[in-house]
């Protein structure tokens, strides 16, 4: 940074903002294309995503259509991640601060808390518990007697082995979160080649057992091929893209470290497209091939691994699956939660304080209890995704169309109590547009007429919010008393 920018950092620091929320200095903006290429691989290849592909088969689409939809989804995801992370790479600031530009200094708290606290903390706990179940399988393979430790011991529904596995796996996730982006970079550099080995190897294994032609023509039992395959194709794309609603809205938490926009754009695009091409081929081949081989439809890769005779192959595969869960948890949950909690009270909390608070809350909510009612979990996540889609639309419309990629950082790093921008710190237009878009994207859950829209809720939310925000804002931008 030049001297003027460094002086600004000192001004912002004097206003009570911790180092974690300040604009990054040039020496800290050192992530290059390769760092972003490896960043998201674990978030693509994880157990929930493979289970989702099993659901796509049930929609009645062919294997080729499913693979094509997944690969097309990668291009859309990459575009949104790159573009919504553009402000982060330009100014070196996290999502919690960029959100202030479009929603206002005070208004940013609601969507920020919804993404960085409610959704991230809940999903962090659920992923920790899901990962601990895989960890329990791993320990059981190596030490069968461990599974009987404690006898009938039970605490809040967890056996002693289950409790030990959960605490250990939770602690590893917390440690990665505390390490932030630097530790995550080293972790993903090790993880990526392992993913290619495990999931690529599983795909080859499935093809050798079932035959590629049989996999391509595979149709699950009692499933009828879809009549309206075009709409179902779009539903699959929406389902894949919607999983990224939360990471996409907070993309700047990672692009703030980019040495340039070009580096993060090329790295994220190449990384996501390559990861999803492998995922598209591997997921379809593994699930279809295993279902054909075992004679029963199987949608969970852990169930497949458990059936293997080779101890080494089983242990290595489960270990990599555990690592993908940790990677997903770090990039999508605990790191965004840390930044957002710090932004709630910047004078008192740092990023690491935020990580610790989020981690402790994830324990208190007893995620294993939440897993007992999975329908409620997915309804909650669907609603969160339906809200965050419009937030992405508003953020991109504001930055690229209204602000024309120019943000005055003084309007973000305000003094405490100084809310001269927008209406007392709230961008009313952003909230009205978000509300209308949410009603359209999620209304189908309550209004039958809107049901088709709810099946492509992410697209409806993002596009509606983007268009409405631009139209309304351009009509009111002449009002000089309102910060555009």
Task: Report pLDDT digits (tens) over 252-294.
Answer: 999 999 999 999 999 999 999 999 999 999 999 999 999 999 9
pTM of the model: 0.87
CA–CA dist 169, 326 (Å, integer): 9
Beta bridge partners of 155: 158
pLDDT at 478: 53
Query: Residues of the chain whose pLDDT is less than 50?
Result: 1-4, 481-484
CA–CA dist 229, 280 (Å, integer): 18
In this structure, are residues 240 and 71 in contact, taking their beta carbons and an 8 Å threshold? no
Task: Choose among 313, 373, 306, 367: nearest CA to 132.
Answer: 367
Helix (H) or strand (E) holding 429: helix 428-442
pLDDT at 481: 46
Q: Which residues contact 21 (CB under 8 A, 6 or more apart)?
A: 93, 94, 96, 97, 339, 342, 343, 346, 351
Q: Which residues contact 331 (CB under 8 A, 6 or more apart)?
A: 39, 40, 42, 43, 184, 247, 254
Quote helix, strand, coil % in the chain, to nearest 5.
75, 0, 25
Sign, CA dihedral 215-218-220-226, equals positive
10 Å CB burial of residue 152 (0-12, 13-18, 19+) is exposed
Alpha helices in 115-244 (DSSP H): 120-142, 160-210, 212-216, 229-242
B/e letters for 413-438, b = 16+ CB within 10 Å, e = fewer, are bbeeeebebbeebbbbbbbebbeebb
Domain 31-372 has CATH 1.10.4160.10: yes
Tokens read off for 411: 């309007």
CA–CA dist 152, 86 (Å, integer): 54
pLDDT at 461: 94
DSSP label of 155? E
CA–CA dist 251, 257 (Å, integer): 11
CA–CA dist 335, 123 (Å, integer): 12
Q: How many residues does the chain have?
A: 484
What are the C-alpha distances in Å from 442 to residues 249, 383, 439, 455, 463? 18, 7, 5, 9, 14
In this structure, are residues 120 and 358 in contact, taking their beta carbons and an 8 Å threshold? yes
CA–CA dist 373, 355 (Å, integer): 27
CA–CA dist 107, 47 (Å, integer): 35
Alpha helices in 295-427 (DSSP H): 301-306, 311-329, 335-344, 351-364, 367-370, 374-396
CA–CA dist 484, 456 (Å, integer): 31
Tokens read off for 377: 């979990």
10 Å CB burial of residue 476 (0-12, 13-18, 19+) is exposed
């Amino acid at each position: 940074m030049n001297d003027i920018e460094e002086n600004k950092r000192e001004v912002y620091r004097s206003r009570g903002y911790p180092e974690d929320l300040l604009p990054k200095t040039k020496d800290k903006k050192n992530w290059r294309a390769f760092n972003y290429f490896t960043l998201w691989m674990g978030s693509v290849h994880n157990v929930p995503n493979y289970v989702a592909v099993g659901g796509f088969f049930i929609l009645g689409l062919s294997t080729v259509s499913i693979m094509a939809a997944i690969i097309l989804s990668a291009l859309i995801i990459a575009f949104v991640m790159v573009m919504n992370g553009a402000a982060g790479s330009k100014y070196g600031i996290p999502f919690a601060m960029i959100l202030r530009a479009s929603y206002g200094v005070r208004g940013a708290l609601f969507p920020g808390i919804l993404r960085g606290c409610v959704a991230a903390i809940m999903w962090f706990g659920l992923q920790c518990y899901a990962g601990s179940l895989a960890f329990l399988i791993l320990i059981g393979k190596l030490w069968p007697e461990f599974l009987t430790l404690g006898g009938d011991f039970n605490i809040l529904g967890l056996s002693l082995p289950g409790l030990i596995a959960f605490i250990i796996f939770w602690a590893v996730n917390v440690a990665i979160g505390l390490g932030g982006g630097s530790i995550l970079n080293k972790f993903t550099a090790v993880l990526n080649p392992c993913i290619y080995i495990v999931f690529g190897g599983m795909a080859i294994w499935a093809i050798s057992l079932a035959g590629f032609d049989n996999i391509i023509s595979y149709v699950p039992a009692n499933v009828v091929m879809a009549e309206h395959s075009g709409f179902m194709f779009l539903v699959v794309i929406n389902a894949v893209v919607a999983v990224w609603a939360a990471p996409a809205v907070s993309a700047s938490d990672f692009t703030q470290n980019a040495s340039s926009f070009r580096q993060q754009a090329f790295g994220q695009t190449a990384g996501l497209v390559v990861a999803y091409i492998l995922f598209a081929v591997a997921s379809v081949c593994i699930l279809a091939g295993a279902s054909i081989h075992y004679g029963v439809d199987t949608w969970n890769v852990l169930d497949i691994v458990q059936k293997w005779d080779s101890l080494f192959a089983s242990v290595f595969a489960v270990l990599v699956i555990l690592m993908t869960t940790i990677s997903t948890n770090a990039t999508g949950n605990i790191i965004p939660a840390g930044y957002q909690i710090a932004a709630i009270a910047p004078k008192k909390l740092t990023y690491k304080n935020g990580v610790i608070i989020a981690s402790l809350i994830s324990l208190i909510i007893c995620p294993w209890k939440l897993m007992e009612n999975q329908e409620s979990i997915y309804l909650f996540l669907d609603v969160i995704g339906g809200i965050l889609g419009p937030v992405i639309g508003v953020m991109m419309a504001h930055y690229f169309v209204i602000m024309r990629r120019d943000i005055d950082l003084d309007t973000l790093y305000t003094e405490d109590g100084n809310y001269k921008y927008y209406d007392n710190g709230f961008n009313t237009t952003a909230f009205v547009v978000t509300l209308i878009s949410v009603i359209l994207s999620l209304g189908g859950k309550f209004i039958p007429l809107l049901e088709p829209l709810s099946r492509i809720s992410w697209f409806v939310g993002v596009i509606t919010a983007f268009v409405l925000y631009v139209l309304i804002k351009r009509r009111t931008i002449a009002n000089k008393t309102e910060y555009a």
